[in-house]
Chains A and B, each alone.
Chain A
Amino acid sequence: MTEEPRYGSWGGLQEGRSRRELRLAWRDDRLPEEALSDSSCLCHGNGRSYGDSCLNDGATLMSTRGMDRVIDFDPATGAFECEPGLLIKELLEITVPHGWFSPVVPGTQFVTIGGAVANDIHGKNHHLAGSFGSHVLSFELLRSDGSRLTCSESENPELFRGTIGGLGLTGLITRIRFRLKHVPGAHIEQEKHVFRNLSQFFEMTEELENRFEHTVAWIDCLSKGRSLGRGIMMCGNHASGSSLKAPRAGLLRSVPLTPPFTLVNAPMIRAFNEVYFQKNALSAGSSLIHHRPFFFPLDGVENWNRIYGRRGFHQYQCVIPHGAAEDAIGDMLKRIRRSRAGSFLAVLKRMGSQKPAGILSFSRPGVTLALDFSNHGAPTLELLEDLDRITRSSGGVVYCAKDARMSPESFQSYYPQWRELERLRDPAFNSSFWRRVTKDLS
């Protein structure tokens, strides 16, 4: 029996205190007896969810990383089928040389395909492509009663929509079939634009979305006054650039250990933001770059999450409906500035109008804002609670995959349809997150 828990989450807030950690290896095997005899079990992919949605305190976690086999790849049609533990990184290594790309990629290539489905992830192309779930053709779900259900839009459609964005609660996905996107090569024709404040972002974003398949903005969350919400808009289209080589690793390849305290504080963020903004403002314009630095800029530094120290960090990501977005995001930035908390990573993206693919999907029409905060305990929780108040009053929602602290009240108001997922949940599956946010409100 493993004594030291190995499977944590990216925010490093919770030490995963699973009672048992098992490894799954074969898609045709039954669920392990030890998992089914425990109070509950949950699949764990690569642990890149930030909070506790990939943890199962006091019960069983089952790692799917050993289930990383490709089942079918047709370079003529771009249909791809694999086991759930394959990483986006591994997928791209196999398909990009044949001119095919993942239909949707998040900000890191270290997530599993199973996780991409379970969190119905979105990316810089959401305005055109929607979320990952809308490209899934079918999957097989292994339930704790031993049944194997093929799920698609026509077969078991309820479980299909429940499992997409279903946080791993409906059973084990053993195989997933989805559509890849054809690309001319491994590169991106990139264009960077400066916006001097938040309203400029809202003015330019629509026009850029018409010209670019991928758009995302970094904002300086410590800027104030007339520059409130200044930032850089990064846009890109797939390109061939076949003569260019893949980028080499930078100087800092890995954060080797977790310092006892966070290295991220307000003066440092202010300095970083100033330099980052000015550097990008100077280099605004177009260039041809490899897809890796464009899509996964932080992946160049392994374990970057360790800079937040032993207490870890929170990520807050919300999406606010279009009409309310500009005011709500302005209010949030002011509130963050007041807290002197600040965040390196502050990302803004206008989402498309696609219908959410899953019952509990996060992505929906509106503007999404993502921010990282060092964990300082009570003051951090207070700040996040205040952000929640703004999100709630403007009709937005918070992303479950990023969350470690929202109240059951907030969750149930964001996702009133949660009872539908609760009904579809496999009785043997549960997570720390789900127990926390579905507590009865009395």
Chain B
Amino acid sequence: MKKILIIGATSAIAEATARLHAEDGDRLALIARNESHLEAVAQDLRQRGAESVSSFVMDANDFARHEEVLAAADESLGGIDFALIAHGTLPDQELCERSAQSMRDEFSTNCTSTLSLVTVLANMLEPRGAGSIGVITSVAGDRGRASNYVYGAAKGAVGLFLGGLRNRLHGSGVHVLTIKPGFVDTPMTADFSKGPLWATPSVIAKGIRSAQKRRRDVVHLPGFWLMIMLLIRLIPERIFKRLSI
């Protein structure tokens, strides 16, 4: 039995990951913004075999409550083996270009709130010398592109932050996992047409679980995205700026 904390528990990837842990009989604590959605997820996980499921309603942008809610979740679990941070939105890029306020709001949801939660978690786990912190970023964070650079910049910043945190916690026993999914077929991406590069949330979930078990540092999910992003990162900026990909 493992003790699993999931922030953004009503997101499709988080829910798929939570189901794998429920089937293993793990103990779960869930944090999400929408109470009725959160309750539906919690109820389902109980029926699927979770030892127990506790749930906490919190908006990730409610920074003042981060410490209090994470402490309560930690207490309900009796410790944390794996904390997964999965909340996020897909910003309306055009709106964020027109409105600096919208850009800041999206950055808060997709970056600053995550950094705050990770900081609190790291400080909780470091003295215990054990546990994993996994954060869902994105392959979009590897390169700035016109079509979604607000989202990309937020995810890229989180990735950089996690690299530093991993460096800091190296030797402490606390494991930091950066999860970089490619295209995932979820409600967040409902408006895109889907091609062969798209994966289902349950495929990503299995990748997350195995990466956590194997204490990987950075994973691209599915794995072929590592090659795609290597190639994309190799394109010189003076050529890249002319492309629309």
Query: Which A residues form the contact surface with B (CB < 8 A)?
Result: 1-4, 6, 22-23, 25-28, 66, 69-73, 83, 94
Partner of A3, one of B12, B48, B190, B193: B193
In Å, the complex CA distance between A2 and B43 comes to 32
Let me know if A70 and B43 touch, CB within 8 A: yes
Look across to chain A and name the residue whose beta carbon is closest to the beta carbon of B49: A94
Let me know if B194 and A4 touch, CB within 8 A: yes
Partner of A28, one of B12, B36, B187: B36
What residues of chain A lie closer than 8 Å to B12, measured between beta carbons?
25, 66
Query: Which B residues form the contact surface with A (CB < 8 A)?
Result: 12, 36-37, 40-41, 43-44, 47-48, 187, 190-194
Look across to chain B and name the residue whose beta carbon is closest to the beta carbon of A24: B187
- Chosen A-B contacts, 20 in total, with CB atoms closer than 8 Å, are A1-B191, A2-B191, A2-B193, A4-B193, A4-B194, A23-B187, A23-B190, A25-B187, A26-B36, A26-B37, A26-B40, A66-B12, A66-B187, A70-B43, A70-B47, A71-B44, A71-B47, A72-B47, A83-B40, A94-B48
Closest 9 CB pairs of A and B: A69-B44, A70-B47, A28-B36, A4-B193, A73-B47, A70-B44, A3-B193, A26-B37, A25-B187
Let me know if B193 and A27 touch, CB within 8 A: no
Let me know if B190 and A69 touch, CB within 8 A: no
In Å, the complex CA distance between A109 and B47 comes to 20
What residues of chain B lie closer than 8 Å to A2, measured between beta carbons?
190-193
What residues of chain A lie closer than 8 Å to B37, measured between beta carbons?
25-26, 28
Interface of A is mostly: loop
Let me know if B187 and A71 touch, CB within 8 A: no
Kindly provide the distance from the CB of A347 to the nearest chain B CB, expressed in whole angstroms: 31
Let me know if B190 and A22 touch, CB within 8 A: yes
Look across to chain A and name the residue whose beta carbon is closest to the beta carbon of B187: A25
What residues of chain B lie closer than 8 Å to A73, measured between beta carbons?
47
Kindly provide the distance from the CB of A354 to the nearest chain B CB, expressed in whole angstroms: 30
In Å, the complex CA distance between A112 and B40 comes to 18
Kindly provide the distance from the CB of B243 to the nearest chain A CB, expressed in whole angstroms: 22
- Given A26-B36, A28-B37; A71-B43 close (CB under 8 Å): yes
What residues of chain B lie closer than 8 Å to A72, measured between beta carbons?
43, 47
What residues of chain A lie closer than 8 Å to B43, measured between beta carbons?
69-72
Kindly provide the distance from the CB of A180 to the nearest chain B CB, expressed in whole angstroms: 13
In Å, the complex CA distance between A83 and B43 comes to 12
What residues of chain A lie closer than 8 Å to B40, measured between beta carbons?
26-28, 69, 71, 83
Kindly provide the distance from the CB of A38 to the nearest chain B CB, expressed in whole angstroms: 16
- Given A26-B37, A27-B40, A28-B36; A94-B47 close (CB under 8 Å): yes
Q: A22-B190, A25-B12 are in contact. List 15 more A-B contacts (CB 8 A).
A: A1-B191, A2-B192, A4-B194, A6-B194, A25-B187, A26-B36, A27-B40, A66-B12, A70-B47, A70-B48, A71-B40, A71-B44, A72-B43, A72-B47, A94-B48
Look across to chain A and name the residue whose beta carbon is closest to the beta carbon of B192: A2
What residues of chain B lie closer than 8 Å to A4, measured between beta carbons?
193-194
What residues of chain A lie closer than 8 Å to B47, measured between beta carbons?
70-73, 94
Kindly provide the distance from the CB of B199 to the nearest chain A CB, expressed in whole angstroms: 15
